[in-house]
Amino acid sequence: MIKKQWIKLSIIVLFISYGIQIIWQKSHEVSEIPIIGYHHIVEDKDKELYYKQNMWVNSLSSFEEQMKLLHDKGYHSVTLDDVYEWRMGRKKLDDKSIVITFDDGFYSSIKYAQPVLEKYGFEGSVFVIGSQIAKNRVKYKPNIRQHASLEDMENVPCMKFYSHSYDLHHKKGGFKVNLLNEEQLIKDTKKEASYVSIKYYAYPYGKYNDLIQKVLKNEGTKLAFGFNENRKAKITDNPYALPRFNVNAYTKLDVFYQMICQ
Ligand SMILES: [Zn+2]
């Protein structure tokens, strides 16, 4: 008799805890998530020496501080595969989800950002400019904004490499994406695909038009990202125009936190 009651009680407790879990999950599910974008990262002494006025070069200490804050506030990074599944309605993301990205394929993403990501259990995605990929493994020189080689990109823990176009990263005479015809855009995208995955694509300078969106869709890209829209990505956003936050050398820690939890 006592045994029967004990089983009954156990089942009730199980149902209640399952119910609480469902309610907790539902109340934390989100329909928008922050995607943050970095460029080059250097040691503080090199920032001071070579890049003091360059807003696109962040100091390692500020990056570390931002990652620590995310960690301390309970954030966890999600991959672009997670974002795709979420956007397609096949995966739930909670209100502590964040996406960490790096543009241009700088070697510093691997040398400096990666160990910090690993330390806090985060993952990052790097968008690589195919035409800028270094021919050989890079010997680090702090005064040059070096791009990584394909060898550098091999088997990097907690980091994935995707597309930032093969050679659209030009704006002389207008953003290059707006100067090319469909055939040329297809050629650029196919060439990029021979170096890195084009499953996910960040538009150079965050600039896009209908034609490049059409080309990417046809070439198999699943999500494409803008830059500097400085708002969260909504589940209802166009998957070929997802916004990102610009985290640059002027982004103070309190502003950084505000934008993520706004
Ligand atoms: Zn770029």
CA distances from 151 to 27, 193, 197, 205 (A): 44, 16, 15, 26
Q: What spacing in Å lies between the alpha carbon of 47 and ligand 1's midpoint? A: 19
Instruction: Please provide residue 224's backbone torsions phi and psi, each rounded to the nearest 5 degrees.
Output: -135, 145
The domain locations on the chain are 1-30, 33-261
* Residue 131 near residue 166, CB atoms below 8 Å: yes
Give the DSSP H or E segment for 166: none
Q: 233: left (phi > 0), else alpha (psi -120 to 50), else beta?
A: beta
Check pLDDT > 60 for residue 14. yes
For the domain covering 33-261, report its CATH number.
3.20.20.370
pLDDT at 27: 63
Check pLDDT > 70 for residue 18. no
Q: What spacing in Å lies between the alpha carbon of 149 and ligand 1's midpoint? A: 17
Mean pLDDT of 166-189: 97
Q: What spacing in Å lies between the alpha carbon of 39 and ligand 1's midpoint? A: 7
**pTM for this predicted structure:** 0.91
Q: Using pLDDT thresholds of 50, 70 and 90, give the confidence band for residue 22.
A: low
Residue with tokens 């207008």: 174
Q: What spacing in Å lies between the alpha carbon of 226 and ligand 1's midpoint? A: 10
pLDDT at 63: 98
User: pLDDT tens digits, residue range 162-176?
Assistant: 999 999 999 999 999
Tokens of 173: 């005479």
- Computed from CA positions of residues 241, 242, 243, 246, in that sequence, does the dihedral angle turn out positive or negative? negative
Check pLDDT > 60 for residue 127. yes
Q: What spacing in Å lies between the alpha carbon of 2 and ligand 1's midpoint? A: 69
Q: What spacing in Å lies between the alpha carbon of 203 and ligand 1's midpoint? A: 8
Q: What spacing in Å lies between the alpha carbon of 164 and ligand 1's midpoint? A: 7
Mean pLDDT of 22-30: 67
Give percent of the chain above pLDDT 70: 93
User: pLDDT tens digits, residue range 38-80?
Assistant: 999 999 999 999 999 999 999 999 999 999 999 999 999 999 9
Q: What spacing in Å lies between the alpha carbon of 253 and ligand 1's midpoint? A: 23
pLDDT at 3: 73
Q: What spacing in Å lies between the alpha carbon of 105 and ligand 1's midpoint? A: 8
pLDDT at 261: 87
Check pLDDT > 90 for residue 199. yes
Helices (H), 95-236: 107-108, 114-119, 182-193, 210-219
* Residue 60 near residue 43, CB atoms below 8 Å: yes
User: pLDDT tens digits, residue range 150-159?
Assistant: 999 999 999 9
SS3 content of the chain, % helix, strand, coil (to 5): 40, 20, 40
Helices (H), the chain: 2-28, 44-50, 60-72, 80-87, 107-108, 114-119, 182-193, 210-219, 253-261
Give CA–CA dist 140/201, Å, rounded: 26
Give CA–CA dist 23/4, Å, rounded: 29
pLDDT at 5: 78
Which value, in Å, is the radius of gyration of the alpha carbons in the chain?
Answer: 21
CA 52 from centroid of its chain's CA atoms:
25
Angle at 171 between CA 165 and CA 176, to 5 degrees: 50
Higher pLDDT, 99 or 11: 99
Check pLDDT > 70 for residue 30. yes
* Residue 97 near residue 76, CB atoms below 8 Å: yes
